[in-house]
Structure 1
Amino acid sequence: MNYTQNRKISQITPSTLIIGIDIAKDKHVARAQDIRGFEFGKRLHFENRIKGYQKLLDWAENHQKQQAKDRVVFGMEPTGHYWLNLAYFLTAKGYEVVLVNPMHVKNKQRA
């Protein structure tokens, strides 16, 4: 691992709620989990438009309260250009967005 990877990993603490988002053209899928990878609740399917983004925020904030987490980090694979509007929306709302290298996702799925 290099310095940048270590720095990113150190930002995730037990009080962080991690929202992983699978990006697609029309609909995205989100999962909520903690630092250990323990998943909370069911996946959320939401549309790639403002109404869907607000649905994601409501869902994430609900999980944040239920799990008593101090902060939320959204992670997504930059698939084509479909992730851009969601990333802009989330950062405009004050949330941290982390782009995940597609090779890391691919290697994790193999494990």
Structure 2
Amino acid sequence: MNVKSRRTKKVNVENQAINLLSKEELDKKIEVVEKELRSYTWRKLEANGKFAKNDKLSFITDDMLIVGCDIGSETHYIRAIDVRGRELSRGAFEFSNTSEGFENAKAWVMALAAKRDKKQIVLGLEPTGHYWFALAAWMISNGISVGQVNPYAVKQSKEIEDNSQLKQ
């Protein structure tokens, strides 16, 4: 095949029409999700400074959108998955470490939650340096639960999943 030739992808328009929501429908769904949001931190859920494995597992439910965030000094990246680990976003969403960036990220997450009929949102992040403080505080104050993830555990689970040490 010629390298410069372009592949055309067949698109099933009927299936896309089913998944598309009108702007008004999407806005209504986003309002419902926003009203039902309740934020928790791991610290609030702990009992006597310990968190039993079953308690962690029962915290995550089928109606939750799980968002993982890669923290940076100026730019953060988030991706969304469901409880079974299936990626729900087409790629990483990039946003700045400012309140405007946080608003954009929340809007992106809320739209994704509304499209996928998720009622709660959990943000998992690696606490690298001090750059995560502002994001975590802002998300909690806006109804999104935040959980810290051990960087070593993230590395180990990534290597188990795809047997690669690359960050992709």
The TM tier, using the shorter chain, reads over 0.9
Residue 64 of structure 2 corresponds to which residue in structure 1?
A: 16
Alignment length (residue pairs): 110
Residue 109 of structure 2 corresponds to which residue in structure 1?
A: 60
Residue 26 of structure 1 corresponds to which residue in structure 2?
A: 74
Task: Report which of the two structures shows the higher radius of gyration computed on alpha carbons.
Answer: 2
3-state SS of 1:72 partner:
strand
Q: Deviations over 1:40-98 (max 9, x none)?
A: 12210111111110010000000110000110111100000000000000011121100
The Cα shift of 1:10 comes to: 1.5
Residue 83 of structure 1 corresponds to which residue in structure 2?
A: 132
The Cα shift of 1:13 comes to: 1.1
Residue 39 of structure 1 corresponds to which residue in structure 2?
A: 87
Provide the rounded CA distance (Å) in 1 between the counterparts of 2:157 and 2:94: 22
C-alpha RMSD of the superposition: 1.3
In the TM superposition, structure 1's runs of 4+ consecutive aligned residues that sit over 2 Å from their partners are 2-6
Provide the rounded CA distance (Å) in 1 between the counterparts of 2:72 and 2:66: 19
**Which amino acid is the alignment partner of residue 98 of structure 1?**
G
Q: TM-score of the superposition, structure 2-length normalised?
A: 0.62
Residue 73 of structure 1 corresponds to which residue in structure 2?
A: 122
- List runs of 5+ in structure 1 lacking aligned partners: none
Provide the rounded CA distance (Å) in 1 between the counterparts of 2:126 and 2:52: 17
3-state SS of 2:88 partner:
strand
Q: TM-score of the superposition, structure 1-length normalised?
A: 0.93
Q: Percent identity?
A: 36
Relative to its length, the structure with more strand (as a share) is: 1
The Cα shift of 1:3 comes to: 4.8
- List runs of 5+ in structure 2 lacking aligned partners: 1-49, 161-168
